[in-house]
Structures are given as structure tokens and as C-alpha cells.
């Protein structure tokens, strides 16, 4: 595994290097050192290219604020940049966030969909909250409003989605759980904990590998294909990682089977492949499809190590 860790720590990808140090090696990185890391991240690809495409007024692609056009507009660039380790202190980020908040967020804190789809979709609420938390807006009023809205949404609708025939959606549940995992444990109130518990219970009450969640259509192939970045879809790695992020129960046969599945995807050289990619649909590609992926490998190793999985 040392060889793979060294690969992830290469200077060619400062973002993966940072998350490897933080989430796999559990190194303590102070604010002074992180400011240097952030500078490296913003000067590297694909972050540098994404930032270069931002309009001087703060938006990307089109001066329209919604979830569409998928993967090309301001909302999605903020999402990709947040996943890559960018923070609100980077030039242009706060301006873009204020545009999204001012044009997309409703008074109740939600981010309702318009154009092709409509309503407050659970997956997109989770992604919106993840953006705000990753960029560093955990103490902002608009973030607190979004958290409150999601708590109320989960209490009322229990992760149901009208585009899933009003059945509970594991994709949306995963996106919300991923976002809530970013809230420090000491800052979680009773309602936040209830949302997390409901998400974990739903995801674990069904076989993760078999994906036998409530549905009326066939199982999506996305479930079995690991990729980065993900959008509104999810896969076994992302779901398992989100559950493990709450606290792994090694006695759970469901978790154990999911970890076995993740491990089985490992290539002979110890890496994991980019099986699903948004390349060609985003403004800037991230890694190479169907090739060994530092991002997928980093996420897989983190998930397995968090559970002390013995066959890495």
C-alpha cells in the first residue's frame, strides 16, 4: 500500500495529495500550511482552468442560475471546485456564491429546481449544502437556513422524490448524508442527528451491493460504477463512504459486503479505475475515464481504512 500512498502524494495533483494527508494519513495541517496548499491547488489543473473560465461578473457559461445546463453553469463549477479543495478565500468564489444564493435560494433555505425539472429535489439540496460547507460557509445564515430546510424536508418526506415515483431515494439520501457529515459533531443539534440517523437507517435497511431499495424501474448501472465527481447519481463507493463517515459498524454484514465489493474493484497494481466520468460534459475534464484514478483510489482507501478493512 505504501507505493499507492506515494502515488497519491505526488505533487502533480495537490488536491488529492491534500485529502490523502488529511483523510488517510490523518496529518494535522495548520492554517498557515493550508494557505500554501490552497495556493498549490488553485495553480494546478483542473482548478486553474475552471477558474480561468469564470466571467468577470462572477458566473460561468451562462448568466442564468439553476441546476441546468447540467455541469456547465455556475452552480456546478462551485460544486466541482469545492470537491477539489477550493475555499471561499480564493478570488472569484465568494462573488459566485453570492450570485447563486441571490438567484437560486428560496426564502425557506431550499434550492428549488426550475426549467426541465421542478421542486426541491433531495439530491440537489444535499449537493447545495455540500458546496456551502466545503467552501467554508458553515457559519453563514444562508447555510443554516438550508440545513433547517433539509431537516424539515426529511422529517416531512423521508427522502422521497417525485422523480422516483415518490419512493425514498438512496441517491438523494446519500447526498444529504455526505453533506451532514461535514458538520462537526459538536455542532450537530438534535434535528441534525435525527436526519443523519434516518439516512443511515434507510441506507442500511436495504442491501447496498444488491441495491434492493424501493423502485419501480430497473437498477441503474451507475450504482455499480465508481467515478469522480459524481452528480445527482450515486454508487456503492459513495454510499458506503457516507455511511462509514458517520461511524463504521464492522459487525454489519451489509457494510462488510459493501467493503468486499469495493475491495474487489481494486486493480492488480493496487489502484481503482475511473469507471464513470462526466468528462466531455463538464467545462473542464477531471482525470481520464477508464484509467486508474487518484480520486477514486483515494476515496476507496479512505473508506476501507476507516473500517480497518483487512484485505487492502
CB 170 within 8 A of CB 156: no
Domain count, the chain: 1
Q: Is 312 a domain residue?
A: no
CATH code for position 240: 1.50.10
Q: Is 291 a domain residue?
A: yes
Q: How high is the mean pLDDT of the chain? A: 95
Q: How far apart are CA 274 and CA 289, in angstroms?
A: 5
* pLDDT tens figures, 181-239: 999 999 999 999 999 999 999 999 999 999 999 988 899 999 999 999 999 999 999 99
Q: Is 39 a domain residue?
A: yes
Q: Please give the average per-residue pLDDT across 35-57, as a whole number.
A: 98
CB 78 within 8 A of CB 100: yes
- The pLDDT value recorded for residue 312 is 64
Q: Is 243 a domain residue?
A: yes
Q: Is 58 a domain residue?
A: yes
CB 104 within 8 A of CB 111: yes
If you search the block for the grid coordinates 480561468, which residue do you land on?
52
Domain that holds residue 89: 2-306
Show the CA angle centred on residue 164, arms to residues 160 and 168, nearest 5°.
30
- Residues paired with 160 in a beta bridge: 168
Say what angle helices 141-157 and 190-204 make with each other, to 10 degrees. Answer: 50
Q: Is 311 a domain residue?
A: no
Amino acid at each position: 500500500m505504501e507505493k499507492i500512498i506515494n502515488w497519491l502524494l505526488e505533487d502533480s495533483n495537490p488536491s488529492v495529495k491534500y485529502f490523502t494527508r488529511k483523510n488517510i494519513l490523518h496529518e494535522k495541517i495548520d492554517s498557515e500550511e493550508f494557505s500554501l496548499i490552497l495556493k498549490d491547488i488553485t495553480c494546478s489543473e483542473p482548478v486553474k482552468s475552471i477558474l480561468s473560465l469564470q466571467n468577470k461578473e462572477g458566473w460561468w457559461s451562462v448568466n442564468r442560475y439553476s441546476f441546468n445546463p447540467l455541469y456547465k453553469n455556475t452552480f456546478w463549477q462551485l460544486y466541482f471546485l469545492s470537491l477539489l479543495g477550493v475555499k471561499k478565500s480564493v478570488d472569484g468564489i465568494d462573488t459566485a456564491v453570492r450570485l447563486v444564493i441571490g438567484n437560486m435560494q428560496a426564502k425557506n433555505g431550499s434550492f428549488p429546481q426550475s426549467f426541465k425539472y421542478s421542486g426541491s429535489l433531495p439530491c440537489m439540496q444535499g449537493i447545495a449544502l455540500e458546496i456551502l460547507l466545503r467552501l467554508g460557509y458553515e457559519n453563514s445564515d444562508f447555510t443554516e437556513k438550508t440545513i433547517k430546510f433539509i431537516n424539515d424536508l426529511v422529517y416531512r418526506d423521508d427522502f422521497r422524490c417525485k422523480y422516483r415515483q415518490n419512493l425514498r431515494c438512496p441517491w438523494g439520501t446519500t447526498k444529504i448524508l455526505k453533506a451532514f457529515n461535514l458538520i462537526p459533531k459538536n455542532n450537530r443539534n438534535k434535528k441534525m442527528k435525527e436526519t443523519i440517523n434516518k439516512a443511515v437507517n434507510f441506507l442500511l435497511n436495504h442491501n447496498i451491493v444488491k441495491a434492493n431499495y424501493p423502485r419501480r424501474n430497473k437498477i441503474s448501472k451507475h450504482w455499480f460504477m465508481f467515478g469522480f465527481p459524481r452528480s445527482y447519481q450515486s454508487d456503492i463507493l459513495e454510499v458506503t463512504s457516507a455511511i462509514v463517515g458517520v461511524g463504521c459498524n464492522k459487525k454489519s454484514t451489509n457494510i462488510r459486503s459493501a467493503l468486499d465489493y469495493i475491495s474487489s474493484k481494486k486493480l492488480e497494481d493496487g489502484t481503482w479505475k475511473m469507471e464513470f466520468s462526466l468528462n466531455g460534459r463538464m467545462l473542464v475534464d477531471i482525470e481520464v475515464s477508464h484509467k486508474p484514478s487518484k480520486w477514486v483510489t483515494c476515496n476507496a482507501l479512505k473508506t476501507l481504512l476507516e473500517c480497518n478493512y483487512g484485505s487492502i
